[in-house]
Amino acid sequence: MQKLLVFYGSYRSDRAGIRFADYCVRKFADRGVQAELIDARAVGLPMLDRMYKEYPGDTAPEPMRLLAKKIAAADAFLFVAGEYNWGMQPGLKNLTDHFLEEWFWRPAALATYSAGRFAGARAGYAWHPTLAEMGMVVIPSSLAVGSIGATLDEQGHPIGDGGAALERSFDRFADELTWWAEAAFRQRASVAPPY
């Protein structure tokens, strides 16, 4: 069974994007993927001072150590990324920056959202090269939800025309991510990564 970590990073008190993260976790689980939500606010890492690898021995804070192990054991990553002022959510970026080698040689996908009609696309443009620089292969497909409050209800279930469009888009997106996860898994098992 593939292991997928779904990362979400809003620290706001009224978090509409968590609906999208919950939707993604549920939909991947329905496909037989072991999907786990990693909520940056719940993990609670401090603003980046030292990366996980910069702590000697086993001295990194426990939440960081636990998350490093989960990242290293995952087959793929999904970043549910809201758009803040044409860019990234600082909470999600902060969590991501605490790690480096743990991300290597696995695929990543982007599911972006916003309250407006651009559906977080500008956040996606910012995240794509960042994730690639951190050693992930970012798949071409993405999910994008605009007007999130009119697309997913509070339990993360699709509603209205936006929800129907999301449902139509999900399977191709999920097929691509799981294909890349399987390909990367097989390659790592047969040939050691070059670094």
Question: Which CATH number covers residue 99?
Answer: 3.40.50.360
Nearest-5° Cα angle at 75, 127 to 157 = 65
Global confidence as pTM: 0.96
Percent helix, percent strand, percent coil in the chain, to nearest 5: 45, 20, 35
Q: What is the pLDDT along the chain (195 residues), one digit of tens a residue?
A: 899 999 999 999 889 999 999 999 999 999 999 999 999 999 999 999 999 999 999 999 999 999 999 999 999 999 999 988 888 999 999 999 999 999 999 999 999 998 888 888 899 999 999 999 999 999 999 999 999 999 999 999 999 999 999 999 999 999 999 999 999 999 999 999 988
Q: Where are the beta strands (DSSP E) in the chain?
A: 3-8, 34-39, 76-82, 106-113, 136-145
Q: How far apart are CA 123 and CA 114, in angstroms?
A: 9
Residue 195 domain flag: no
Q: How far apart are CA 187 and CA 108, in angstroms?
A: 16
Which residue stretches of 79-159 are H helix? 90-97, 121-133
Q: Residue 13 to residues 16, 142, 149, 153: CA-CA distances in angstroms?
A: 9, 26, 15, 17
Residue 37 domain flag: yes
Number of domains in the chain: 1
Residue 98 domain flag: yes
Cβ(67)–Cβ(94) below 8 Å: no
Residues spanned by the domain of 175: 3-190
Residue 135 domain flag: yes
Residue 68 domain flag: yes
Residue 94 domain flag: yes
Q: How far apart are CA 93 and CA 47, in angstroms?
A: 10
Provide the β-strand partners of residue 110: 79, 142
Structure tokens given for 71: 């990242």
Structure tokens given for 95: 């969590």
Q: How far apart are CA 103 and CA 105, in angstroms?
A: 7
